[in-house]
Amino acid sequence: MTTNLSLRPVTSTDLPIFFEYQLDEEANWMAAFTAKDPTDRAAFMAHWQRILANKTVFIQTILADGEVAGSVLRYEDEGKPEVSYWLGKRYWGRGIASWALSEFLARHNMTRPMYARVAKDNPGSRRVLEKCEFRVIKEMSGYANARKAEISELLLVLEG
Ligand SMILES: CC(C)(COP(=O)(O)OP(=O)(O)OC[C@H]1O[C@@H](n2cnc3c(N)ncnc32)[C@H](O)[C@@H]1OP(=O)(O)O)[C@@H](O)C(=O)NCCC(=O)NCCS
């Protein structure tokens, strides 16, 4: 069981690990609104270089007992702040995402309202958000790369 969780800034050595985590097929299915081609390493690295240099994006690496377990980030969509996260599969089911999102929101004094999106059929991610007091405000339909189809997506808000 995990005993020690922490957040720290992303380093360049984290990127190959994040790349490996986002290759997982089950994770892609869950998240649904993913990269067009998760196996495209060059596109992944270019995307991460862009977001790490973007002043409106704030990303932290999640460490579990000193190992890179995943990432949690805040970005903006049409000027509205949103959060997202992704964990390597071997770290699932240990309360890590719930801890990381709650710590990320508290420690970094994030503005409110804060938004998040989740595929309607991703109960784990929805539960993480609801445990952090996000509530569903809208159901939308969008094209999900990982499903190659239009699916239902929920927009959630955390008010403060
Ligand atoms: C979704 C994800 C972040 C959950 O991370 P996690 O560390 O396993 O989540 P936690 O252990 O904090 O679990 C939070 C809650 O969700 C529940 N949960 C987790 N996975 C679940 C699943 N697949 N189905 C149903 N409930 C689930 C847990 O039981 C827990 O609820 P509880 O506290 O009431 O028991 C992780 O599975 C992941 O990274 N998936 C791939 C990428 C993804 O979907 N990212 C989110 C995009 S919106």
Residue 13 near residue 73 (C-beta atoms within 8 A): no
pLDDT at 39: 98
Residue 11 burial class via C-beta count within 10 angstroms: exposed 0-12, middle 13-18, buried 19 and up: exposed
Express each pLDDT in 31-47 by its tens digit.
999 999 999 999 999 99
Minimum-distance ligand 1 atom for the alpha carbon of 24: 41
* Ligand 1 site, residue 29, Cβ cutoff 6 A: no
* Mutational pocket test of ligand 1: of 89, 98, 118, the residue with most ligand atoms within 8 Å of the beta carbon: 98
Residue 33 near residue 147 (C-beta atoms within 8 A): no
Express each pLDDT in 105-143 by its tens digit.
998 878 899 999 999 999 999 999 999 999 999 999 999
* Ligand 1 site, residue 69, Cβ cutoff 6 A: no
Average pLDDT over residues 137-154: 98
Question: How far, in Å, is the centroid of ligand 1 from the Cα of 124?
Answer: 3
* Ligand 1 site, residue 124, Cβ cutoff 6 A: yes
pTM: 0.96
Dist CA 71 CA 21 (whole Å): 10
Residue 53 burial class via C-beta count within 10 angstroms: exposed 0-12, middle 13-18, buried 19 and up: exposed
